[in-house]
Amino acid sequence: MEQLLEWDKQLFIYLNNQGVDSWDPFWIEVSEVAIWFPLYALLLYLLYRKLSRRGFFMAVLCLVLNVISTDQGSVKLFKEQFQRLRPCHQEDIKGQMRLVKEGCGGQYGFVSSHASNTFGLAVLAGLILMPFYRYILHLLLLWAAIIGYSRIYLGVHFPGDVIGGAILGSVLGYLYYLLFLLIKPNKNA
């Protein structure tokens, strides 16, 4: 385990140091939640257009439960249990990394809540909409991966934090998709 943590730290230092000052504002914005509100609105619109009224409400219920689960699960089940310091709180690497934004969030980083939330949303919404939009799951997973990378770029998460969050979010997103299949009104939802 110590060797894995060391590799994770070295990969973080490498990826984080690939940053360029002129790109910093872009990656700060990518990592902000509010900038993605139009995407969330678009996803709700697509669900509304393609599902029955009851199917839409069941999808929204699953999405809300998914967001709560990924957000709280990343904190209660992982961050508070593992208590792995974020890179920006580790004295031994502060001089080797770029901390792009002011402050770096809470003390603990495993798993990344940004990654958990976005991958959960990507998997759940992507699977529900995939019968109607062939590549939407791929596009949403790419979006989630970009947000995950932004956390490494900014200096607030190790790659392992992001991968752990991606796995947690993807598993929960898939489980809520299965729940959606159980509660949707009919095959054409």
**Whole-prediction pTM value?**
0.90
Residues whose CB is less than 8 angstroms from the CB of residue 24 and which lie 6 or more positions away in sequence, other chains included: 100
Quote the pLDDT of residue 2.
Answer: 86
Quote the pLDDT of residue 189.
Answer: 52
Quote the pLDDT of residue 46.
Answer: 97
Q: Across the 189 residues of the chain, what is the mean pLDDT of every consecutive 10-residue run?
A: 88 91 93 92 97 95 97 92 89 88 84 96 98 96 96 94 97 97 73
Question: In this structure, are residues 28 and 101 in contact, taking their beta carbons and an 8 Å threshold?
Answer: yes
Token pair, residue 151, equals 């956390």
N-term to C-term CA, the chain: 45
Quote the pLDDT of residue 105.
Answer: 80
Reduced to 3 DSSP states, what percent helix, strand and coil does the chain have, rounded to the nearest 5?
A: 75, 0, 25
Please tell me whether residue 105 adopts helix, strand or coil conformation.
Answer: coil
Token pair, residue 89, equals 């709180």
Distance CA 82, CA 18 (A): 28
